[in-house]
Amino acid sequence: MDVKAVGIVGKKRMGKVVQTACELFHWLEARGVECVLEEDLATASEMIPRAPREELARGVDLLVVLGGDGTLLSAARLVAESGVPILGVNAGGLGFLTEVALDELYQVMELVLKGKTTVIKRAMLEATVLRGGEEVTRHHVLNDVVVNKGALARIIDLETHIDDHYLTTFKADGLIISSPAGSTAYNLSAGGPIVHPSLGCIILTPICPHTLTNRPLILPEDRTIGVSVGSVDGEVFLTFDGQVGYRVEEGDHLRVRTSPHKVSLIKSPHRTFYEVLRSKLKWGER
């Protein structure tokens, strides 16, 4: 990978992220690499080139994300179509997506500039909402699409089809449709399975189902999941990667399938997925 221009985004509310972004800018500049920061991160210096977040992926060969998994999820949607690789650097503890620790940043960046790192592809999901047969919104997500009732809503009916085949009508608080990369997010907390992120599949996990025999289901990646919302007593929402919300109306139809886009991530040279699992989930500790 030939890196001549780098964009930097980050969690601007963290002081060390702003400081690191500015330091990384000067570090890259000294090595002849062009660099541009997200507008809000560039406040520390009037001399640092900046751009709105939605424009940052244009014209760069690499996007450095400083923050956590949530920051990376929003960045992934920015580069979904362009395919610009992401280096996720966690400013706190290690993340499932942001594998590189802050104190490893420059060591890993040296490897990136020398072309000695590995780029891995992670599948995304494409979610479309139809209302009266007309498309009203469409999103590409890295982790999950969630149908969830509001605080005062009763159990909701979610008639679910796989391709053209009726599966069941979930009577539940909601339904999580997850990618393999998202299996360790909301899916895991709702009792869903951990799936290696390189596998090709889609995971369905009901949230607090009224029927206790309803269990998570792993489907091949080439399937299309259709979910029709039954009678709505209260508020029902869709969330995309836990960051973008959309209010659902009775009769709305959700269609989820594997996206044609993939996210390219720079793999940490220091740890595997299994090491991240042990660290995050504290396996083996007493």
Residue 129 and residue 120: Cα distance in Å, rounded? 30
- b (16+ CB within 10 A) / e for 109-130: beebbeeebeeeebbbbbbbbb
**With 0-12 CB in 10 A as exposed, 13-18 as middle and 19+ as buried, what is 1?**
middle
282: left (phi over 0), alpha (psi -120 to 50) or beta: left
- What are 262's two structure tokens? 């993939």
As averages over each run of 10 residues, the pLDDT of the chain (286 residues) reads 91 80 93 90 68 85 93 92 93 82 93 94 97 95 93 83 96 96 96 96 96 95 95 85 92 96 93 89 85
Query: Which residue among the candidates 40, 61, 69, 173 is catalytic per the annotation?
Result: 69
Has 69 been annotated as catalytic?
Answer: yes
Rounded to 10°, the helix 15-30/105-113 angle is 30
Q: How many CB atoms lie within 10 A of CB 61?
A: 16
**CATH 3.40.50.10330 intervals, the chain:** 5-118+267-281
pLDDT for the residue numbered 74: 92
Which CATH number is 124-260 given?
2.60.200.30
Fold held by 5-118+267-281: Rossmann fold (3.40.50)
pLDDT for the residue numbered 46: 60
**CATH 2.60.200.30 intervals, the chain:** 124-260
pLDDT for the residue numbered 262: 95
pLDDT for the residue numbered 152: 67
